[in-house]
Structure 1
Amino acid sequence: MASRHHEPVVPQQPKGAAGPIGKQKPAAGGDAKNRRALEDIGNLVNVRAVEGKAQPQAGRPVTRNTGSQFLSKAQANNNTAAVNKKPVVVAAADVAAGKGGKAVKQKAPIKPKPEVIEISPDTNELKQVGQKGLRNASLRKKKIHTLTSVLTARSKAACGVTDKLKDPVHDIDALDAENQLAVVDYVEDIYEFYKLAENSCRPCEYMESQVEINAKMRAILADWLIEVHHKLELMPETLYLTIYIVDQYLSMDTVLRKELQLVGMSAMLIACKYEEIWAPEVNDFICISDKAYSRELILAKEKAILNKLEWNLTVPTPYVFLVRFLKASMADKELEQMVFFFAELGLMHYSMIKYFPSMVAASAVYAARQTLKKVPLWSTTLERHTGFSEPQLLDCAQHLISFHSSAAESKLKVVYNKYKSPQFGAVALHPPAAKLLVEELKASST
């Protein structure tokens, strides 16, 4: 095996070299072995290398300021060189003959080209160019009326042919995109579920199975509950849930006449505990009923109702649909108050129990737009979000408008008096739209 240690090889002296070979310097900080130092990576300035020569400085990135400085220095150097440049006189003999008597052609000195550094234009110029481009783009987007298009439009108008503009479906949730409480991402799924759930949760017609109560008694109870709700300043969700609990319980159990008000009080107590932040106490209902029922009777009836309903209180009432349909209707304050006026008239009448809550809500919006003479009466956006076309709502809307026509002469005037006050915009004082609705019914039948 060859030994690792061997004699150092002495390099030969190249030809033409003057003097003897000098001893090589050892590497900086190194030992007797021949080692090379790592090269500079450009992040050090003026570092001495192995051979003792100064390294060039690392290049700086050329910015707009440094670029302009380089350009001014280069122009100044060229001007100085041009001023200091002296004409050189060359003898003819020197030009004619070179070494060895041979003629040598003198080459003209090559002038170095000045370094040209491109500088980006000013921001003002960029803005001017951008604005000019935007103006050109806007001009291209403008519709140009050519002779052919004008003649075609006039021909269609002369022949009675017109292009009807399609009613677009508006994105009613666009303004609530950043509102987390609006749940824009899945609000459509929620209302699809409500549409499916309203069929199974809806109370059936129950008056034929009741022995001592009738539709008029139910209307009196609903009228009293609406008044209590208004006096206690409860949430609107509480009222609609109260009426639902009453109807659902009456469709499941037979109630005596003397217990009908007790059912209504217990139903409102349950709804308040479910919807309100600060629910009224049992003593409040005792005082409102003029101590007709004791505390024990109210709590016992509350427990009986909850057991009968199997504690299922999360149901789609007309109110949840009213909120969505009003948003699709892009309603102002007057239209909103009118819609709630029709909806509460519908709560009082037992004949409205045969309609789905979503249809009652959509019909209330349609009847309100009919009364206030809104144009159009029913839009594509409303049809898209309610799921009902205008002909489908005429029958239910006719009932609501007829309730409005007879509200002033009715003995049960709580809803009418409530919505004729300035607090609710006095919307009940608008003339009923019965004649307009009759014309719509005749037009749809023909």
Structure 2
Amino acid sequence: MATRNHAEAQHNQRKAAMPTVKQKEAAPIGDAKNRKALEDIGNMVNLRIADGKPGHRPITSFGAQLLANAQAAAAAKKLPKQVALPSDGTTKNKSPVKNSKPEVIIDISPSTKQKKNQEKKSYHASSSKNKVHSLSSVLTARSKIACGIQDIDVDDDNNELFMSEYVEDLYKFYKLQENFFRPRDYMSSQVDINAKMRAILADWLIEVHYKFELRPETLYLTMSIIDRYLSVESVLRRELQLVGVSAMLIACKYEEIWAPEVNDFICISDRAYAREQILRMEKAILNKLDWCLTFPTMYMFIVRFLKAAASNKEMENMAFFYAELALTHYSMVMYRPSMVAASAIYAAQCNLKKSPPWNKTLQYYTGFSANQLLECAKHMVSFHSTAPNSKLTVVYKKYSKDELGGVALRSPATKFVED
């Protein structure tokens, strides 16, 4: 009898310890959170913040990879899913909760990345091999071969930056545009300045450009802006340097990645102008030019023509030496930028005693024959002859340095050009 009463007492205690249905519903959410975390692991873990608002914490990429490996191993062994344990420590069978959305596992292993890279390489290789040339390009290439003209863009087909498919059309457009932006003979209309003052300004700007280590495009754009502005506006003598400083500031903003600041130009001009004066002149220049700064300069043509000449470093330095000499002389403004660039190549070829100095390839890509360039090239050779004794020696000293090959120290090709 005592044993029976003791068994009933233990049964009542166990029954009282087990939670009822209402008690389960009113139980703390900690158990549900644990169960939910076990069921949804690998996706997003639902957290409870102190104020009772739910939050989300993403699983890290390393954890996702470990989880993916574990799930793959479990699927291979067909292991049953783990069942959450109640808080009282007893086990109870419960059907697993199925997620409404299927889990998507992304494999980020190195092997997958390598496969993707190989697929990209094979795609690019196949696309480059299957490149289709237009009928006009094929006919043009055949006509060049028939006329003895070397195709200078044949090795650039696989490089999209060279635009070999339409680079010739681009330079045809440049030649049309240079006629619209050519400065006129403006010195006759200028009252307070002359060609000698412009030469002094150009010589000083070339030195500033060299000290600031700016891009070559910046120098040629600066001089083009100055000539275009002086063609439409009369400038006083005391403001000519201000025009040059403001023009170089505009060109730097257009061409440079890290353009010099206004204070740099104030210091380089020995504080001859204030900040407000430079900015006011900059605005005046842009308004007079209608904010149009995209036009062909001599530099655009000379880099193309050097490629047609199959130039080396010495040839490049010599051509740029003649081109910068041309920038300092007002008499070269009357020529088109493409003709000045081609004449610089012709004079450099003569100075280096290339035989012949002009061939069919150069004539095709420049659009000028040797007879058309002769007069302009003679001017450049004469500039070279007088450069050592000139008062404006910046260009001569610059190209006399070893870093630029000392090409200015070579004897001028006066006789070779005349022959």
8 Å contact kept, 1:167–1:379? no
Return the structure number with greater helix share.
2
CA distance in 1, matches of 2:146, 2:257: 46
Partner of 1:413: 393
In structure 2, the partner of 1:46 is none
2:225 to 222, 230, 245: 245
4+ residue runs over 4 A deviation: none
CA drift of 1:215 comes to: 0.2
Distance 1:166 1:404, change over 3 A: farther
In 2: Cα distance, 1:251 partner to 1:325 partner: 28
Letter in 2 for 1:431: S
The offset of 1:438, in angstroms, is: 2.1
Which residue of structure 1 lines up, in the alignment, with residue 359 of structure 2? 379
Q: Report whether the alignment pairs 1:288 with 2:276.
A: no
- Offset of residue 169 of structure 1: 0.6
TM alignment of 1:102-113, pairs within 5 A: none
Please state how far the C-alpha of 1:166 moved relative to its aligned partner: 8.6
Distance in structure 2 (CA, Å) of the matches to 1:212 and 1:430: 38
Pairs within 5 Å for 1:164-183:
168-183=148-163
Go from structure 1 to structure 2 and tell me whether the alpha carbon gap of 1:330 and 1:232 turns closer, same or farther (over 3 Å shift): same
Task: Determine if the alignment matches structure 1 residue 268 to structure 2 residue 248.
Answer: yes
Q: After superposition, where does 1:225-374 map in structure 2 within 5 Å? A: 225-374=205-354
Q: 1:120-172: per-residue Cα shift (whole Å, max 9, x none)?
A: xxxxxxxxxxxxxxxxxxxxxxxxxxxxxxxxxxxxxxxxxxxxx99721110
Q: Distance in 2 between matches of 1:174 and 1:287?
A: 48
Structure 1 gaps of 5+ residues are 1-164, 440-446
- Does residue 1:195 correspond to 2:169, yes or no? no
Q: Give, in whole Å, the separation in 1 of the partners of 2:320 and 2:208.
A: 17
Alpha-carbon distance in 2 for matches of 1:380, 1:232: 39
Counterpart position of 1:102 = none
Matched to 1:261, the amino acid is Q
- Looking at structure 1, the residues matched to 248 and 201 of structure 2 have their Cα atoms a distance apart, in angstroms, of 12
**Contact 1:222/1:348, CA 8 A, preserved across alignment:** yes
Task: Output the amino acid matched with 2:164.
Answer: V
Deviation at 1:248, TM superposition (A): 0.4
Determine which of 427, 430, 433 is the counterpart of 2:410. 430
Look at both structures and tell me which one has the larger radius of gyration over its CA atoms. Answer: 1
1:211 aligned residue = 191
What is the Cα deviation at residue 333 of structure 1? 0.6
Q: What letter is aligned with 2:267?
A: C
Structure-2 separation of matches of 1:167 and 1:419: 37
SS at match of 2:158: coil
TM-score, normalized by length of structure 1? 0.61
For residue 251 of structure 1, give the secondary structure of its aligned residue in structure 2: helix
- Give me the whole-angstrom Cα distance separating, in 2, the residues matched to 1:194 and 1:235: 21
Give the stretch that moved more between structures: 176-185 or 305-314. 176-185
Structure 2 residue corresponding to 1:223, chosen from 200, 203, 223: 203
SS at match of 1:237: helix
Decide whether the 8 Å contact of 1:341 with 1:428 is kept in 2.
yes
Q: What CA distance in whole angstroms lies between the structure 2 residues aligned with 1:229 and 1:167?
A: 42
Equivalents in 2 of 1:272, 1:178: separation in Å?
32
Percentage of identical aligned residues: 65
Aligned equivalent of 1:392: 372
Query: 1:240, 1:405 → 2: CA distance?
Result: 23
Shift of 1:325: 0.2
**In structure 1, what is the Cα distance between the partners aligned to 2:229 and 2:338?**
21
Structure 2 CA distance for aligned equivalents of residues 308 and 437 of structure 1: 40
* 5+ residue gaps, structure 2: 1-144
The one-letter code matched in structure 2 to 1:339 is A
> 1:420 and 1:273 mapped to 2: Cα distance?
30
- 1: distance between equivalents of 2:260 and 2:200? 22
In the alignment, the residues of structure 2 paired with residue 252 and residue 290 of structure 1 have an alpha-carbon distance, to the nearest angstrom, of 28
| TM-score for the superposition, normalised by structure 2 | 0.65
Deviation at residue 179 of structure 1 after TM alignment:
1.1
Q: Aligned partners of 1:228, 1:209: CA distance in 2, in Å?
A: 28
Matched residue pairs, number? 275
- AA partner of residue 342 (structure 1): Y
The offset of 1:354, in angstroms, is: 0.5
Question: Shift of the alpha carbon at 1:329?
Answer: 0.3
Root-mean-square deviation over aligned CA pairs: 1.1
Displacement after TM superposition at 1:207 (Å): 0.2
Aligned partners of 1:232, 1:430: CA distance in 2, in Å?
27
Alignment of 1:60-139 (within 5 A): none
Report the CA distance between 1:436 and its aligned residue.
Answer: 1.7
Aligned letter for 1:258?
R
